[in-house]
Chains A and B, each alone.
Chain A
């Protein structure tokens, strides 16, 4: 027995977008610090209500430690606002940073394939 409701119908769901971002910095940063800073940046620029409207959130399960790349989720109408919020981050743990969005994707899987270099079985065989 699964203790959760059924997922919403597709017509009731918002279209989600996943922004793959990269943090460039002089020294290596901790993943937790970056995720906290991204949340802080989103709340700073969009506000609590704005973040809720944008359905903004940090996808903690997808993270590339070597390249300092991660994913941020939002709905399809708020991509530009979330992109601006990320661009307005300037310091993480007192280290100057340059945050850039690598691209936007419709699913986590596609984002992992396009921006994190992950391969599925079909591409692996090729």
Chain B
């Protein structure tokens, strides 16, 4: 039986523009089969972060899903990014940068303190990255994030153009061996999706099946391991491990694909 841990590295709570509480996000993440989520609110100062940290600690006691603290930095220039990183890097384990402008994309790829570069193609007529950026990202361990929410809330012509640019970024990342992750960027529980659905998006964007799986399991697990020091699951050797039948019942947040029908979640809501 294959058991893989899935992580969603970017969710936004109601403490910062979202509509669902940390508690709701954690409950849905558990139901959908995630092992861990990162609540990545936009950086607004240490006071807001302290509130989120306290909320995460409170909810962590009630759920089996690993809740991690993150921060999304949204700035307009590389100098502001550098200043923000000086502070944020010491306070949170996962740091994401909201991309879009080429200067920010470039600066993020060149800074090893950044974990995730979110939607580098946002609002641009081009993919927002080039070979040099991808090479720097690969060197510095900066993951390029494919943002599901951008696809979910775009339509027709806009969605078509977005998918084209995301496909171009995927091709660049494969060629340059930069890490890729898929994030839901959910601001509500209704924007969250099953890990397998996000993997399907990665597959549609041009990744092969193994790489698609890695975007939600292996690559995020490496980031979490690197930043928190906690060991992540060994995905490559998960197939070899002989686990007893009861292992699934003891650890419900590890998803199995031959487990039969899922529980009636509508009744639990």
User: Using a CB–CB distance below 8 Å, which chain A residues touch chain B?
Assistant: 20, 22, 24-26, 44, 66-68, 80-81, 83-84, 86-88, 90, 96-98, 100-103, 114-117
Instruction: Across the interface, name the chain A residue whose C-beta is closest to B28.
Output: A98
Given the complex, which residues of B lie within 8 Å of A68, measured CB to CB? 266
> Are the C-beta atoms of A84 and B201 separated by less than 8 Å?
yes
Contacts of B191 in A (CB 8 A): 90
Check B204–A114 contact: CB distance below 8 A: no
> In the bound complex, do residue B200 and residue A80 qualify as a contact, i.e. CB atoms below 8 Å apart?
yes
Known contacts A98-B193, A100-B194, A101-B197; is A88 also within 8 Å of B261 by CB? no
B32 contacts across to A, CB distance below 8 A: 100
With A67-B264, A98-B189 known as contacts, the answer to whether A84 contacts B156 (CB < 8 A) is no
B209's closest neighbor in chain A, by CB? A80
Q: Is the CB of A22 within 8 A of B265?
A: yes
A50 to chain B, nearest CB (A): 11
Which residues from chain B contact A83 at a C-beta distance below 8 Å? 196-197, 200
Interface majority SS on B: helix, strand, loop or mixed? helix
B 116-158 binary contact with A (CB < 8 Å = 1; else 0): 0000000000000000000000000000000010011101100
**Do residues A114 and B260 form an inter-chain contact, with CB atoms below 8 A?**
yes
Question: Which of B155, B204, B257, B261 is close to A115, meaning CB atoms less than 8 Å apart?
Answer: B261
In the bound complex, do residue B156 and residue A96 qualify as a contact, i.e. CB atoms below 8 Å apart? no
Q: Which one of A66, A90, A98, A114 lies within 8 Å of B261 (CB-CB)?
A: A114
| A116 with B194, Cβ < 8 A, contacts A80-B203, A88-B152 known | no
Interface: B210 (CB within 8 A)? no
- Chain A min CB distance to B161 (Å): 14
Assess the B156–A44 pair: CB atoms within 8 A.
Answer: yes
Bound CA–CA A97/B197 (angstroms) = 14
A80 contacts across to B, CB distance below 8 A = 200, 203-204
Tell me if B249 counts as interface (CB < 8 A to partner A). Answer: no
Chain A residues closer than 8 Å to B261, beta-carbon distance: 20, 102-103, 114-117
Q: Are B204 and A81 in contact (CB under 8 A)?
A: yes
Q: How far is the CB of B200 from chain A (nearest CB, A)?
A: 4
Partner of A102, one of B155, B193, B198, B262: B262
**B153 partner residues in chain A, CB cutoff 8 A:** 90
In the bound assembly, the distance between CA atoms of A88 and B160 in angstroms comes to 13
Let me know if A24 and B269 touch, CB within 8 A: yes
Q: How far is the CB of B11 from chain A (nearest CB, A)?
A: 14
A72 to chain B, nearest CB (A): 13
Within the assembled complex, what's the spacing in Å between the Cα atoms of A92 and B136?
43
Contacts of B200 in A (CB 8 A): 80-81, 83-84, 87
